[in-house]
Chains A and B, each alone.
Chain A
Amino acid sequence: MEAAVNNQLVSIEKPEIVAPPDWQPVIIGILCNWCSYAGSDLTGTSRIQYPPNIRIIRVPCSSRVDPWFLIKSLQTTADGVLVSGCHPGDCHYISGNYYARRRFLVTKKLLHFTGFHENRIQFSWVSAAEGPKFAKVVAKVTEDIKKLGPLHLYKKENFEK
């Protein structure tokens, strides 16, 4: 599904917002230190190309990711958020990603319920050996969010004058 009116890309949540022709999405990537961050490092050292739209933040574990981070990202600059952690069973802290998984589901569903497209918030499991997978994940997330258009919901700068 592409949010387009008269061949112009519009925001899927607010069809009255038209994207500028040179618009590129900003994606905040929150990666766990032990798997996904090392995986993204491997992508770079293997010279695999992936879209430059992602801005990476390193956190100790995917369960460090407070739903607050996602809300704050979406409220400031981001058009989408990607959170990535270790595969289930591989967590450096034994069970962190199991706790995180519950929180992600509830956060994603709540944001979707209050009017964000569900593809704005995405999650993935990427291990330290999966460099090509990380490139694929970033490409897919960027592709998804390019279709949704810019995010103009509850943006901080719209209200602070």
Chain B
Amino acid sequence: MKRLVLTKDELTAWVRRMTEGVRVFAPVAVGDYDEFRLVDSDQADLIRWSYQNTRLSPKGLFHPQAERMFKFSTSKEDPEWNILKEVPKDFSPRVIVGMRPCDAAALKIMDVNFDTPEYKDPWWVRRREATTIVGLACTSPSSTCFCTSVNSGPFDTKGLDVLLVPLGDGRFLLDVVSERGEELCQQFGPGGKEADSEAIATYEGLKKKAEAALVPIGDLSPLKERDMLEFFNSPIWDEVQFACINCGVCTYLCPTCWCFDIQDEVYESEGCRLRLWDSCMFPLFTLHGSGHNPRAEKLQRVRQRFMHKLKYYVDKYGQGVACVGCGRCVQFCPVNIDIREVIRLMLVQCECAV
């Protein structure tokens, strides 16, 4: 497909044109970190084209942390008493600009949960359908990143419609990678000029360099090959769990953690059904109505998080691990529980068990 080279001004102008036709979300600085926000035409030049990772992943744009699903009346006088009415949501077309390839790959992982042949989460599906994603290649990955070890990469295009590559000289290579990306470029002409062989060579060189900068964490195939119970019953969890404080940092910052809770809130005669992010780190997550909690202990909850990402998901869907190597949990866990180290322990344990 099409490959163009744009100056930064041309890129900003392109985004500005988009803001006049569709909703545009892009990474902007919010205090001391970056976050995806709705930007208007005046804010197009505030977009951070060199950010590392947004503190929170963009998953919230598809799976909001707290979403009003339905409202209802609890007043018996109301003819529509107790009838759930959908709270209006905005499914108008939108473009997310500047998403890192790992975060886009994470959406593909989450599709497996929210968009299946049997079950389709209507809001997830409609938001996905309404969204075109313009990715931003990682030319200098962080030292906590490990995307190439988990089926992704700093230039991975699998969840993207367009990939932007900063060429290092102020220009960007625009690589159209899907039909949807093609349509976006038809709707809003990006300008720029056809990429010449020199620009493409630079792109290839940057890609190789970025991939080489990522430290591999090892061959993950034993995660698939070994028996689930070997991992489950392994003594490593006792060591892994000690430091954990069971907060929700890892799961809430994670671009692939999709678990949620549904709650009804009622105030006077007005009720609202909410969907809220939940976390397997929290004791309430598995508390049964009977009062029994199958994961009452910290060890069980810590093990669940890693087993879900690294074993159950692998076994159930056959698409590798439910992790894209963005490194957010590595960087922000307040007690330095490092998923790379957990994977290493799981793999080492495998070798010993032979």
Whether A and B are associated in the same complex: the answer reads no
Could you tell me which A residues sit within 8 Å of B by CB distance? Answer: none
Could you tell me which B residues sit within 8 Å of A by CB distance? Answer: none
